[in-house]
Structure 1
Amino acid sequence: MKRLTMTIVMAAAVFGLVYAGGGTEKASTGTGGQKTINFLAVWGGQEAEVFKAMVKPFEERTGIKVELEATRDLDAVITTRVEAGNPPDVAGLPGPGKLVELAKAGKLVDLSQVLDMAEFDKNYSAGWKALGTVDGKLYGIFTKAAIKGLVWYNPKTFKAGGITPPSNTWTWNGMMAYSKQAIDKGLAPWAIGVESGAASGWVGTDWLENIFLRVNGPDKYKEWYEGKLAWTSPEVRKAWEIWGQIIADPKMIYGGSNYVNSTNFGNAHEPLFTNPPKALFHHQASFIQSFITNQFPSLKPVEDFDFVAFPSIEPKYAKAVEGAADVIGVFKNTPEVRAFVNYLASAEAQAYWAAGTGALATNKNVSLVFYPDALTKRAADIMNKAEIVVFDASDMMKPEMNAAFWSAVVSYIENPKNLDSILAGLEKVRKDAYK
């Protein structure tokens, strides 16, 4: 905790040098006495501490108090309060699905009435803006992001084997060639674990989403998560079959299918860092860096662990990025809320997430100087330069479809020969869920 506090203090100091010129909250100061904003979110622990540090300069400049109400049962609390006519002023929503639900129900404020849109458009890519838009109006600000689909490796394993590490321009076929080299050298190409309690299987959905996006592009991707594309379609089947080149081949995966299904996602990278290493690659989002450093505190970024972007499959989708992020929605349009939300969207505020948690800022004008190491800087750079940004597809699906997708991944790993029946089962769920 002391280290985190120092990081936040340093971030505040660096901010003064990088973004000298004062605050961005243009809608407000001098509110005529203490005003309080109720902010509801899931953030606790480290995230809560960073959030409180983030809002402190805003509070000092405006006299507006921001009270964080944290709950792990976020969806239920928001639903109950909205139905009771007592919504929070601002909230970190459970996900894009909830954003769409609340926007369509007329419960959220159109952010064009809240934000300085000229400033917002300078700071956010079209992809993030599109994700926050419902029926042509902006309702959500995405923040605190992670890139999905990074491929992690141990550089020392490559050096010991006389192999040149991959680059961000590699292809799926090139990745499979690396995998064959690993087998030839007695290593398992891939360390994978999909166990996650009731959510077991979500790790595999990330694989399939990244493959689907790079084969079929963002328009088909959107049709898929909106329930408009059959699970038995050629597009969906192809994604599963491509993943099957890895997950259905016992030579490709460390420990075999039972190991994959029983190993928690938070420990799945460990075979890369045993002595000697037992696997070459691990596929996971940018957040896994904190798991690696917590479990192996002596390891140094770049020197001991590194990553490359997910390989391209169809060249025209090579610069596509799948991400996940928290999304903020606004329930009340007051001068205090307008000031606060403009601040939350600013580079100043988002720099705290970068420095304090290593999460990626969705505001593309947050300087890379705030990121704690070379790897998070690189992840942020990939995010900022992406030509296509999509959100995690399974998180955008209806809950029953999402849950069935997770379960289908576990079933496929267990018996990939059952792909036909697995896809037929998913298609039945789709037809029932999207009537």
Structure 2
Amino acid sequence: MTTTTARASRRALLRAAAAGVTALAAGCSGGTRSVQVAVVWSTSELDRFRQVVADYPAPVQVVSAGNDIDAFLRARHLAGTTPDVAILPRPGLVTEYAQRGWLSPVRPSTEYAVPEGLSNLLTDDGRRYGVWVKAAHKSLVWHLPSVLPHQPADWDELVELTRRLGGLARRGGGPAPLALGAADGWVLTDWFENVLADVAPDSYDTLAGPDADWQGGPVRDALDRLAELWSIDGAFLGGGRRALLTQYEESVIQVVHTRRAVLLVGADFTADVVGPFQRGPEAPTTFRFPGARPGGGPLIVGGDAAVAFADTRGGVELVEWLTRADSFQPWLRAGGYLSPNTTVSITSYTDQVGQRLAREMRAPGTLRFDLSDQLPGAFTGSDGVGIWRIMQGFFADVTDGVRANEAIRRATGQLAAAARNAGGGR
């Protein structure tokens, strides 16, 4: 275990212990016993979820577990202070906890339905252990209309636009074409997943399984397409090395506030970052991540799932309540929320962008779930490890002038080794 990992684990243990003491105190305070929920959300998302559960008929205590909710929940399990419910950001955690015997099966309400490709991710041995409560549309490109009046229609047009704007930026004639928060590894895997789902949709669906071929043609083709774009001189503000030090929030600021970059690939939750930093009345707009053909490529979706822990009171009932069509209305009215539940009316969204994204999620045949969130063990990626770290290494290679063939050889070898170490793939 590295020093950084050890410190993170100790922080998670201390947070878990403190939250456990709070939970015990709340349970002994008399009156109706509260239901405790552990979530990954913070700031505005945390506030809005608290508004949602304020309508639940029993008191609900919401605890933010920070970025590493897995470490938090393991510490709480060891301490004997497991919460009643958790909101998990990865379906792999749902099946892992179910196999450990930590979870209770759950039954959604009759008002719950999700797009094809999402439902079976939260089951184990034919039993459902989780329900989707929040979705993330991860196939969007953000820009200011005044800075980019004409959107690229397909991948080739995006490459040509990046070359043209990159040349102007090098000569001091304008902003960099792309903002990229590569310090956050998930940003790079989102790029990879969008490209892979476009060039090899069938292979995309198999890469999360035990027979995944991480050194095969489809992965190489996707990396080759990324290398074509990422290696363009002047593509990124400050170059590739600066992008690797840039956090995602800073990359959003580069587009909407300082206007030193033109385009940003980011999920719908980017809107939460835009709000505080938008300069002037002009709001950014979005278009679908460009595929090989005009009209956009496949749709990559992430999501957060609610689970109820075994031997806890009130957890299963709260999870079922969260699947009702009207439960998340406070968050829908506030904005910044995309429901995975297709029984939620499109008119519940207060803005046209939200309505458009909800319709896109319901279009048949295009949806793929975030691949890195499906991968087993440490391969799934977190800061400094797994597929996130491997993609950062690949990005460093192609922006440092390493030939594409060599960068792809290194990356696919590392991906295959990480898959084997995690017990899946080759």
TM-score range, shorter chain: 0.7 to 0.9
User: What is aligned with 2:162?
Assistant: 179
1:312 maps to: 291
Instruction: Render the CA deviation track for 1:279-320: whole Å, top value 9, x for unaligned.
Output: 43211111112222211253443xxx11101122379x9663
Aligned match of 1:106: 101
Tell me, yes or no, if structure 1 residue 254 matches structure 2 residue 237.
yes
By how many angstroms is 1:35 displaced? 5.0
Counterpart for residue 262 of structure 2? 280
Partner secondary structure for residue 395 of structure 2: helix
How far did 1:68 drift? 2.4
Over 3 Å counting, the alpha-carbon distance change for 1:318 and 1:228 in structure 2 is farther
Partner in structure 1 of residue 188 of structure 2: 204
Q: Which amino acid in 2 is paired with 1:142?
A: W
Distance 1:310 1:135, change over 3 A: farther
SS state of the match for residue 103, structure 1?
helix
Contact 2:165–2:177 (CA<8 Å) still a contact in 1?
no
Corresponding residue for residue 108 of structure 2: 115
How is 1:10-29 mapped onto 2 (pairs within 5 angstroms)?
Answer: none
* 1:399 Cα offset (Å): 4.3
Match of 1:69 among 63, 66, 71: 63
Number of matched pairs: 378
CA contact (8 A) 1:214 1:314 kept: no
Matches within 5 A, 1:6-405: 34-59=32-57, 64-72=58-66, 74-82=69-77, 87-111=82-106, 114-116=107-109, 118-120=110-112, 123-159=113-149, 164-166=150-152, 170-180=153-163, 182=165, 187=174, 190-196=177-183, 200-217=184-201, 219-226=202-209, 228-273=211-256, 277-301=259-283, 305-313=284-292, 320-332=298-310, 336-356=314-334, 358-385=336-363, 387-401=365-379, 402=381, 403-405=385-387
Give how far 1:208 is off: 0.5
Range with greater deviation from structure 2 (232-241 or 363-372): 363-372
SS of the residue corresponding to residue 158 of structure 1 reads coil
Change (3 A) 1:290 1:93: closer
Contact kept, 8 Å, 1:75 with 1:94, in 2: the verdict is no
Q: Identity over the aligned pairs, expressed in percent?
A: 24
Counterpart contact for 1:144–1:350, Cα < 8 Å:
no
**Maintained 8 Å contact 1:320/1:386:** no
Q: Following the alignment from structure 1 to structure 2, what is the Cα–Cα distance between the partners of residues 86 and 181?
A: 57
Give the conservation status (yes or no) of the 8 Å contact 1:191–1:279. Answer: yes
Give the CA deviation at 1:266: 1.2
* 74-83 vs 246-255, greater mean Cα deviation: 74-83
The whole-number CA distance in structure 2 between the counterparts of 1:264 and 1:69 is 25
Q: How far 1:207 moved relative to its partner?
A: 0.4
1:76 is aligned with what amino acid?
Answer: A
State whether residues 162 and 232 of structure 2, in contact with CA within 8 Å, keep that contact through their aligned partners in structure 1: no
**Retained in 2: the 8 A contact 1:319–1:386?**
no
Q: Is the 8 A contact 1:358 1:372 kept in 2?
A: no
Query: Structure 1 residue 362: deviation in Å?
Result: 1.1
In the TM superposition, residue 346 of structure 1 has moved relative to its aligned partner by 1.4
Stretches of 4+ moved more than 6 A in 1?
none
**What CA distance in whole angstroms lies between the structure 2 residues aligned with 1:102 and 1:329?**
10
Deviation at residue 124 of structure 1 after TM alignment: 2.1
Give 3-state SS (helix, strand or coil) of 2:136's partner: strand
Alpha-carbon distance in 2 for matches of 1:211, 1:173: 13
Q: Write out per-residue CA displacement over residues 187-216 of structure 1, whole angstroms, 9 at most, x where no aligned residue.
A: 5663233343xxx43211110011111111
TM-score normalised by the chain length of structure 1:
0.76
Match of 1:8 in 2: none
Q: Using a 3 Å threshold, how does the CA distance of structure 1 residues 100 and 150 change in structure 2: closer, same or farther?
A: same
Work out the CA distance in 1 between the residues paired with 2:199 and 2:241: 29
Instruction: Kindly indicate whether the alpha-carbon contact (under 8 Å) linking 1:191 and 1:280 is maintained by their aligned counterparts in 2.
Output: yes
Q: Distance in 2 between matches of 1:258 and 1:319?
A: 29
Confirm whether residue 425 of structure 1 aligns to residue 414 of structure 2.
yes
CA 1:80–1:293 in structure 2 vs 1: closer, same or farther (change >3 Å)?
closer
